[in-house]
């Protein structure tokens, strides 16, 4: 049956079968007026007017008791706390953590590169020094050798062409003219016949390359006083036969008591390959670790989210049921059934509402006895 408030005319749909007595009262949720309903009204022959669209909207349920629908309920708030907040934290903290990790790796790799660079220079200097000492001994033991005959001497060529690292080679060059003491710097003996007679700096690409990473050849082994060249070693760029620029390392040492010098060159991969491999392994390890962490974290969030959503759905459903029962009791429906059985705090709340319901029912019975 449908009853209307006498003051505000708000309509309610009431089930007379749930009345405990002949008469039931409840308070209007809009104006607070007490509405009295009897079972005899439901037995009236006058048919109830058809329900309009607005009346159906105010039918049974929480809305009929004045409860408003919330945009973000308990379920949404828990979802935000459990899922959305950790995802936001991961999005913010992830790049920061990766940045620190990359910086740490950069420092480690930089130290390894610096160590490998010094090791490469030392090894090249040692190789050049060893060849220079052998050439010095050989030339002092063969004073009859003239400058124009050096390139054809098999013994000297054997010393010059000995193995230097994996891909390196050595060359003999004229540092200065012994007669005029003027610096010369031309190749006399080299594996590459095309460079013999060419200046040493023909090995290199002219100019400072790679943002000052490479020295110009003139700065690498500058001529000092009396045309003497200092001992030097450094990296440079060399153009291959196909026109590709390739990084190489060079060491040049003078042959003592002679106007000659030794130049040893080698690819930097002979010394830096292990560092590059280490860097690649570290980068791959970071990439795999990042994917594993993100996958585990994401999977855990999804699993926790599913579990929490299922649990929260059960909890909110019970809370909504208790709320509806409490409002039904507040408008006089003392026969509302408490169908929630739980061993947690919600069960305790249901028991408390049930005891309150029984207490109100007993109080009403006492009042009826007094009035009668």
Contacts of 80 (CB under 8 A, 6+ apart): 72
Q: What is the pLDDT of residue 45?
A: 42
Mean pLDDT of 209-220: 42
CB atoms within 10 A of CB 207: 9
Closest CA to 127 of 163, 155, 151, 156: 163
Q: 209 pLDDT exceeds 70? A: no
Q: What is the pLDDT of residue 58?
A: 37
To the nearest 10 degrees (0 to 180), the angle between helices 85-141 and 269-330 is 170
Tell me the per-residue pLDDT of 73-86, one tens digit each, with 9 for 90 and over: 666 777 777 777 77
134 Rama class: left (phi>0) / alpha (psi -120 to 50) / beta: alpha
User: Average per-residue pLDDT in the chain?
Assistant: 75
Q: 30 pLDDT exceeds 80? A: no
Q: Which residue has the tokens 């080299």?
A: 190
Cα 33 off chain centre by: 62
Domains annotated for the chain, with CATH where assigned, are: 1-69 (no CATH), 115-277 (3.30.450.20)
To the nearest 10 degrees (0 to 180), the angle between helices 345-371 and 269-330 is 10
Tell me the per-residue pLDDT of 90-117, one tens digit each, with 9 for 90 and over: 778 777 877 887 788 778 778 888 888 8
Q: Any idea of the CA torsion for 290, 293, 299, 303, to the nearest 10 degrees? A: -160
Higher pLDDT, 342 or 354: 354
Q: 139 pLDDT exceeds 90? A: yes
Instruction: Flag the least confident range among 15-24, 256-265, 310-319, 351-360.
Output: 15-24
- Percent of the chain at pLDDT above 70? 77
> With bands split at pLDDT 50, 70 and 90, how would you rate the model's confidence at 372?
low
User: How many whole angstroms separate alpha carbon 294 and alpha carbon 285?
Assistant: 14
Instruction: Say what the pTM is.
Output: 0.51
User: How many whole angstroms separate alpha carbon 352 and alpha carbon 349?
Assistant: 5
Higher pLDDT, 182 or 122: 122
Q: What is the pLDDT of residue 154?
A: 92
Higher pLDDT, 42 or 170: 170
User: How many whole angstroms separate alpha carbon 307 and alpha carbon 323?
Assistant: 24
Q: What is the pLDDT of residue 107?
A: 83
Q: What is the pLDDT of residue 39?
A: 67
Mean pLDDT of 269-288: 82
Tell me if 159 sits within 8 A of 138, measured CB to CB. yes
HEC string for the chain: CEEECCCCCCEEECCHHHCCCCEEEEECCCCCCEEEEEHHHHCCCCCCCCCCHHHHHCCCCHHHHCCCCCCCCHHHHHHHHHHHHHHHHHHHHHHHHHHHHHHHHHHHHHHHHHHHHHHHHHHHHHHHHHHHHHHHHHHHHCCCCCHHHHHHCHHHHHHHCCCECCCEEEEEEEEECCCCCCEEEEEEECCCHHHCCCEHHHHCCCCCCCCCCCCCHHHHCCECHHHCECCEEEEEEEECCCCCEEEEEEEEEECCCCCEEEEEEEECHHHHHHHHHHHHHHHHHHHHHHHHHHHHHHHHHHHHHHHHHHHHHHHHHHHHHHHHHHHHHHCCCCCCCCCCCCCCHHHHHHHHHHHHHHHHHHHHHHHHHHHC
Closest CA to 160 of 134, 137, 141, 199: 134
Instruction: Flag the least confident range among 11-20, 29-38, 310-319.
Output: 11-20
């Amino acid at each position: 049956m449908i009853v209307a408030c006498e003051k505000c005319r708000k309509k309610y749909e009431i089930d007379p079968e749930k009345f405990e007595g002949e008469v039931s009262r409840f308070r209007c949720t809009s104006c607070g007026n007490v509405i009295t309903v009897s079972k005899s009204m439901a037995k009236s022959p006058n048919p109830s007017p058809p329900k309009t669209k607005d009346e159906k909207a105010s039918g049974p349920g929480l809305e009929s008791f004045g409860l408003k629908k919330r945009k973000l309920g308990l379920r949404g708030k828990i979802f935000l706390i459990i899922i959305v907040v950790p995802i936001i934290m991961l999005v913010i903290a992830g790049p920061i953590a990766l940045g620190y990790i990359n910086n740490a790796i950069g420092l480690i790799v930089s130290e390894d590169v610096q160590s490998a660079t010094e090791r490469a220079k030392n090894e090249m200097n040692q190789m050049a020094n060893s060849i220079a000492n052998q050439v010095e001994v050989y030339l002092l033991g063969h004073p009859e050798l003239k400058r124009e005959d050096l390139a054809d001497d098999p013994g000297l060529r054997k010393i010059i062409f000995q193995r230097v690292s994996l891909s390196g080679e050595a060359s003999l060059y004229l540092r200065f003219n012994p007669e005029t003491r003027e610096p010369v710097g031309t190749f006399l003996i080299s594996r590459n016949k095309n460079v013999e007679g060419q200046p040493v700096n023909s090995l290199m690409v002219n100019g400072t390359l790679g943002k000052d990473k490479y020295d110009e050849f003139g700065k690498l082994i500058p001529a000092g006083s009396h045309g003497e060249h200092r001992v030097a070693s450094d990296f440079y760029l060399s153009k291959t036969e196909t026109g590709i620029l390739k990084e190489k390392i060079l060491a040049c040492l003078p042959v003592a008591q002679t106007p000659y010098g030794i130049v040893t060159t080698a690819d930097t991969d002979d010394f830096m390959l292990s560092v590059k491999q280490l860097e690649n392994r570290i980068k791959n390890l970071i990439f795999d670790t990042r994917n594993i962490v993100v996958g585990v974290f994401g999977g855990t969030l999804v699993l926790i989210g599913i579990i929490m959503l299922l649990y929260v759905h059960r909890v909110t459903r019970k809370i909504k049921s208790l709320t509806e029962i409490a409002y039904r009791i507040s408008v006089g429906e003392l026969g509302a059934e408490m169908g929630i059985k739980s061993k947690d705090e919600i069960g305790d709340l249901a028991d408390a509402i049930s005891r309150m319901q029984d207490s109100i029912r007993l109080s009403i019975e006492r009042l009826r006895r007094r009035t009668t």
